[in-house]
Structure 1
Amino acid sequence: MNQRGLWPLVGRAIALDLNSLLPVGLTGALGVLIVQDLNAPESAGGMLVGAFFVAGAFFILLAASAIDRYGWNAAALAGQATTAVALLACAVTPHPWGLLLIGLSLAGMGSSISQPATSVLLTEHVQPRRRGFAMSAKLAAVPAALLLAGIAVPALGETVGWRASFAIAALFPLSGVVLLLRFRPVRTDSVLEGRRDVGELRRPRHRALWLAGTGMLLGSMLPGVVLAFMVPSMVDVGLTPGEAGLLFAVLNVASVLSRAAVAVLADSPLFRGNAAIMAMMTLGGLGAALVAVPALGTVLAGAFFAFTMGWGWTGQAFALALKTFTESPGGVASVMQSGGMAGSALGPILGAAAVHFWGLPAAWVLSASASVLGGLAFWSLPSPGTVVHRTREELA
Structure 2
Amino acid sequence: MLRNAGAAGGLATLGTLPVFLVGAQAVLIRDDLRVDDARLGLAAGAFFGVAAVVSLTCGGLVDRMSSRASTLVAAGISAGATLGIAVGAQSFVSLLVLLLLAGAGNAALQMTANVTLARTVPPSRQGMAYGIKQSAVPLAVMLGGLAVPSVGVWVGWRWTFAITGGVCVLVAAFGVRQRSVHPTAGPSSGALDRPPVAALLVSGAATMLATSAVVCLGAFLPVWAHELGLSPARSGLLLSAGGALALVARLASGFAADRRVGWHMPIVSAHLLVGAAGVFLLSLQDVATLVVGTLIAFGIGWSWPGVLLFAVVRVGRDNPGAASGAIQGGNFAGAALGPVLFGLLATAVGYSTAWRLAAGIMLAAAALLVIARRMFIADSRRRQPQRTSP
* Shared fold, TM over 0.5: yes
Q: Percent identity?
A: 30
Q: Check whether the contact 2:75–2:171 (CA below 8 A) recurs between aligned residues.
A: yes
365, 374, 381: which one pairs with 2:356? 365
Q: Check whether the contact 1:281–1:371 (CA below 8 A) recurs between aligned residues.
A: yes
Shift in alpha-carbon separation, 1:267–1:384, aligned structure 2, 3 A: farther
Q: Check whether the contact 1:73–1:117 (CA below 8 A) recurs between aligned residues.
A: no
1:301: how far off?
1.3
Shift in alpha-carbon separation, 1:94–1:170, aligned structure 2, 3 A: closer
Q: Check whether the contact 2:275–2:297 (CA below 8 A) recurs between aligned residues.
A: yes
Shift in alpha-carbon separation, 1:339–1:297, aligned structure 2, 3 A: same
- Does residue 126 of the first structure (1) align with residue 121 of the second (2)? yes
Q: In structure 1, what is the equivalent of residue 317 of structure 2?
A: 326
1:195: how far off?
5.4
Structure 2 stretches lacking a partner, 5+ long: 386-390
Runs of at least 4 residues off by over 6 Å: none
1:392: how far off?
5.3
1:137: how far off?
1.8
Alignment partner of 1:43: what SS? helix
1:145: how far off?
4.7
Shift in alpha-carbon separation, 1:269–1:47, aligned structure 2, 3 A: same
76, 90, 93: which one pairs with 2:88? 93
Q: In structure 2, what is the equivalent of residue 160 of structure 1?
A: 155
Q: In structure 2, what is the equivalent of residue 282 of structure 1?
A: 273
Alignment partner of 1:288: what SS? helix
- Does residue 382 of the first structure (1) align with residue 374 of the second (2)? yes
237, 254, 258: which one pairs with 2:245? 254
Q: In structure 2, what is the equivalent of residue 309 of structure 1?
A: 300
1:386: how far off?
4.3
Q: In structure 2, what is the equivalent of residue 182 of structure 1?
A: 177
Partners of 2:189 and 2:17 in 1: how far apart? 33
Partners of 1:65 and 1:159 in 2: how far apart? 43
1:72: how far off?
3.9
1:38: how far off?
1.0
Cα deviation digits, residues 95-117 of structure 1 (max 9, x gap):
43232111111100011111022
Question: Structure 1 length normalisation: TM-score?
Answer: 0.90
Q: Check whether the contact 2:13–2:139 (CA below 8 A) recurs between aligned residues.
A: no
Alignment partner of 2:163: what SS? helix
Partners of 1:103 and 1:322 in 2: how far apart? 31
Q: In structure 1, what is the equivalent of residue 110 of structure 2?
A: 115
Shift in alpha-carbon separation, 1:255–1:210, aligned structure 2, 3 A: same
Q: Check whether the contact 2:201–2:326 (CA below 8 A) recurs between aligned residues.
A: yes
Q: Check whether the contact 1:90–1:166 (CA below 8 A) recurs between aligned residues.
A: yes
Shift in alpha-carbon separation, 1:276–1:85, aligned structure 2, 3 A: same
Shift in alpha-carbon separation, 1:253–1:240, aligned structure 2, 3 A: same
Alignment partner of 2:135: what SS? helix
Partners of 1:155 and 1:363 in 2: how far apart? 35
1:167: how far off?
1.4
> Could you say what the CA RMSD is over the residues aligned between the two structures, in angstroms?
2.3
Question: Structure 2 length normalisation: TM-score?
Answer: 0.92
Q: Check whether the contact 1:224–1:345 (CA below 8 A) recurs between aligned residues.
A: no
Partners of 2:369 and 2:316 in 1: how far apart? 13
- Does residue 228 of the first structure (1) align with residue 223 of the second (2)? no
Structure 1 stretches lacking a partner, 5+ long: 1-5
Q: In structure 1, what is the equivalent of residue 101 of structure 2?
A: 106
Q: In structure 1, what is the equivalent of residue 76 of structure 2?
A: 81
Q: Check whether the contact 1:258–1:308 (CA below 8 A) recurs between aligned residues.
A: yes
Q: Check whether the contact 2:228–2:286 (CA below 8 A) recurs between aligned residues.
A: yes
Shift in alpha-carbon separation, 1:34–1:133, aligned structure 2, 3 A: same
Alignment partner of 2:37: what SS? coil
